[in-house]
Structure 1
């Protein structure tokens, strides 16, 4: 375990029980925000790569409508 994680565990262990839930909620919120940021960045990279490519929408439609077997 990294030193930062160990420190977090140590700090959480020192909290009164009624203060643990808000800390966990904050960590979860930051984790979800980080994932959304990563997803948005990945989508932007894909958009950049697809700029100027013709027929992409039509090909995606064909794949969606085609056999999935």
Structure 2
């Protein structure tokens, strides 16, 4: 186990952010296969600031799976 700050990560398998690939379903799948850390896809900061619905949807985290 290793940590990023105070957050424990169960292993060193890290899935990189991939535009058009790292959606919520993909992140859940790779976590179920044992990835220690997954990232949402790369998104535009402008989309976040402007509260763009499509952009914000890319950031979705299933609360049941958070920090597992």
Larger helix fraction of residues: 1
Structure having greater relative contact order (Cα 8 Å, sep ≥ 6) = 2
**TM-score, scaled to structure 1:** 0.20
**TM-score, scaled to structure 2:** 0.20
Larger radius of gyration: 1
